[in-house]
Amino acid sequence: MKKTASGALALALLMASSSGTGAAPSPELRVFTSQQGSTLKARFSAAVGDQVTIVREDGRTMTLPLSALSAADQEYVRQQSGAPAPAGTAAGPVEASPSGFKPAPNPNDKLAVEEVNSVAGQPLFSDKPLWERPAAEVAAALGLRQESKTPTQSSYRSYPKDDYRLFGARPYSVALYAAGDRVTALSIVYANKGDLFGSKGSAEMHFDKDTPPEEAAKIVKTAMDKDLTAITETMSGKLGAPKKERFGEGKVGRMNMQRWDWRGQAVLLAEAEGEYVGLQVVTAQFADSGGKVARTSDAVIREQAKKHLENRPNGDVVIKDIPMVDQGPKGYCVPATAERAMRYLGVPADMYILANAGETGFGGGTSVNALLQGVGRHIKAKGRSFDSFQGDMKIKDLARHIDKGVPVIWALYSTDGFNKTANERTAARKDITDWAAWKQKVTTEAAANALSKNEKTGHVVLIIGYNKDTNEIAFSDSWGERYMERWITVDEANKVSQNSFYTIGF
């Protein structure tokens, strides 16, 4: 069966291209915003042609295309440099797009907000484009819960009930992504081979899977065809026939889309054959560019990663601010975990696209190693390294990565006994003041803990920290905020480990 995938979501960061002092900067420190909503405090330094140089708070310079900045920032740069506004544009921000791009006239633009929201089936749109609105406002309108929040990015996600409708069909996942407090993209997934065969519960319960039926592929195709027809008819009934376009990057991410536009917002509908039906709302300019995302340089990511490292008085070394992704009631631990690591390192990612790249089975299963190898190829295509190492877990091996601010993907068997131990240990840890006594306690418990491996509970997590004194590791599951940081001893971890570790780096 031929595999295709949806285009990557737009979560690009401002890109650094040089270091040094450059020209004397303006004394004004301001928040610059990229066309996809990422923000950075800096001072204007110089503008040459279509290139802008700004100086960050730490004194490092950044040079980037003028078109990468928001309309307001582009106008600010022109005022600072004395350059005229481009011919044919107003001298000021163009409200229809966050990058100064003015979309071509579209008959649909005459439609009232209420008419377009009747197509959406939810109060999604307003007089302002999505990316000019607070993310919390849009999330509330769609009934989405906050999934994750870090100092630089946030996400909201919901796995709606059967009677929820968006654009004429029932979505299985609705995810809203934001940089700062502004929306960057909306991703909706309809019928798909993961959620259609998901388990009865989330978190630890996702190991309690039903056996997929022999006719699973036919069931998925029927459901996908039904959703495609419903969405296409709903959209076309009010917005007219769609345009057919190519969107996304690379062999995995580029595919055919149906596109409708309204006031600078592009609605893109895609079918990843045999995998899922997906819909995105992005800027018209981003759609016109084919979904090409700017790359953040290794030097910038390397510097940023170290800033997320927290050294606690008790000896804990922990990476903070890793985005959470809740995989929901399906076995998507590998793509969800990979999405978290990628977004943390400045690479746009979506677990459904990654699941396709990893060729997951119905309900999300298949070999962890096979999944990660498939996901790894996608990660490398995005400009990041993907490496692995094997053997018993040792803190010294983990520390080589953690100390750089890089989490480690760990393949294990997440058994009931393991989760019970981790939950109890993590809860007890919050009240500890005598860490010498704690070390003795957990060492004794680890030796007596009869944990064992169960191949039916294959799982991956992010190792995000360690404590050399107590011989413990901190890990994070893709099961929601309650599972952001849990602790277990290395000796116990080795009892359930698959002895395989992976890193996404720079």
For the CA atoms of 64, 68, 72, 75, what is the dihedral angle to 10 degrees? 60
Q: Which amino acid is at 340?
A: R
Can you list the domains of the chain with their CATH numbers? Answer: 107-288 (no CATH), 300-505 (3.90.70.10)
Please state, for a pLDDT cut of 70, what percent of the chain lies above it.
77
Rounded Cα distance between 398 and 405, Å, is 11
Element (DSSP H or E) covering residue 411: strand 408-413
Rounded Cα distance between 483 and 474, Å, is 11
- Token pair 């390192």 is found at 345
Q: Tell me the residue ranges of DSSP E strands in 420-494.
A: 458-467, 472-476, 486-489
> Residue 383 — very low, low, confident or very high, per pLDDT cuts 50/70/90?
confident
Comparing 8-12, 18-22, 143-147, which segment has the lowest mean pLDDT? Answer: 8-12
Q: How many CB atoms lie within 10 A of CB 258?
A: 20
What is the reported pLDDT for 200?
A: 45
> Of 68-82, 90-104, 326-340, where does the model show the most confidence?
326-340
Comparing 8-12, 54-58, 420-424, 462-466, which segment has the lowest mean pLDDT? Answer: 8-12
pTM of the model: 0.71
User: At residue 364, does pLDDT exceed 80?
Assistant: no
Give the three-state DSSP class for 15: coil
Asked whether the beta carbons of 259 and 266 are under 8 A apart, the reply is yes
What is the reported pLDDT for 283?
A: 85
> For all residues of the chain together, what is the average pLDDT?
80
Q: Tell me the residue ranges of DSSP E strands in 170-250.
A: 173-179, 182-192, 243-247
Both tokens assigned to 493? 């971890």
> Residue 100 — very low, low, confident or very high, per pLDDT cuts 50/70/90?
very low
Start-to-end CA distance of the chain, whole Å, equals 33
Both tokens assigned to 79? 């005022």
Q: What is the mean pLDDT of residues 30-48?
A: 77
305 to 338, 474, 506: CA distances (angstroms): 16, 17, 10
> Of 31-40, 223-232, 379-388, where does the model show the most confidence?
223-232
Torsion sign across C-alpha atoms 457, 459, 461, 466: positive
What is the reported pLDDT for 97?
A: 39
Asked whether the beta carbons of 144 and 151 are under 8 A apart, the reply is no
- Please tell me the chain's helix, strand, coil percentages from 3-state DSSP, rounded to the nearest 5: 35, 25, 40
* Neighbouring-strand partners of residue 183: 178
What is the reported pLDDT for 94?
A: 25
Asked whether the beta carbons of 402 and 474 are under 8 A apart, the reply is no
